[in-house]
Amino acid sequence: MLPDVRRFTGVEMIRDGGSFAAEFESSDGNQYILFTKVHFANAGPPKKDEHGDHQEKELVGYDEPAIIDCDPAKRPQDTEKARYTVLSGPASRVPWDQARQLIGKIGDLAQGLSPIQASWLKQMTAVVEGEGHPPPGSKTRSTWHRGRSAVKMIDAIRLHSQPLLDVNAAVPFEIVQASAQPTTQS
């Protein structure tokens, strides 16, 4: 069942390149996030120079939205090596038409936003209304840089990361956290 929106509590762009999260409270007092995951594709081969690796990426769109339950009791427990955010709570897919209803109500309730928050909400609304297409006027190509030492560290971390969010493997996230001792996965 789709939660109702009683109170808007915040919006942000996730630091993965453009996913959006709008947090709200339902009439039963529970906190939820309407989440749209950005999807990129490599645009050409990676390039290397003395500064590291460079990869041209193209924004191809957004996955179908998900509703994430923010209740800390419903997400994995933090460990010494992993910290779980509200985005790691149980999630379920939301059809675009229902996501439009939610983002419309969120927009109606949003007040006192900073200019950046207003921009994020406007972009997220455009994504939902456009059923996952990039917002009009958005930058669709970018170059991602990784220095040589960062590449080695990130590759090592990926070998030992754990999923943060699993919506039937459709919206994957990984913990990107360095640890002194890599752990083995069973």
Cite the beta strand spans of 66-166 per DSSP E. Answer: 66-69, 91-93, 141-146
SS (H, E, C) 10-65: EEEECCCCCCEEEEEECCCCCEEEEEECEEEEECCCCEEECCEEEEEEEEEEECCC
Per-residue model confidence as pLDDT tens digits over 19-33: 999 999 999 999 999
Sheet of 66-69, strands arranged across? 7-13, 20-25, 31-36, 66-69, 91-93
Q: How far apart are CA 130 and CA 99, in angstroms?
A: 11
Distance CA 176, CA 167 (A): 19
**Domain ranges within the chain, ordered by starting residue:** 7-159
Confidence (pTM): 0.73
**Token pair for residue 179?**
């640890």
Tens of pLDDT, residue by residue over 131-154, are 999 988 877 777 777 654 444 444
Confidence tier at 87 by pLDDT (50, 70, 90): confident
Answer whether 153's CB lies under 8 Å from 182's CB: no
8 Å CB contact between 33 and 115: no
- Indicate the residue type of 148: R
**Reduced to 3 states, what is the DSSP secondary structure of residue 139?**
coil
pLDDT tens per residue across span 30-69: 999 999 999 988 888 888 877 788 888 888 999 999 999 9
Asked if 54 contacts 47 with a C-beta cutoff of 8 angstroms, the reply is: yes
Distance separating alpha carbons of residues 92 and 59, to the nearest angstrom? 23
- pLDDT of residue 83 exceeding 80, the answer is yes
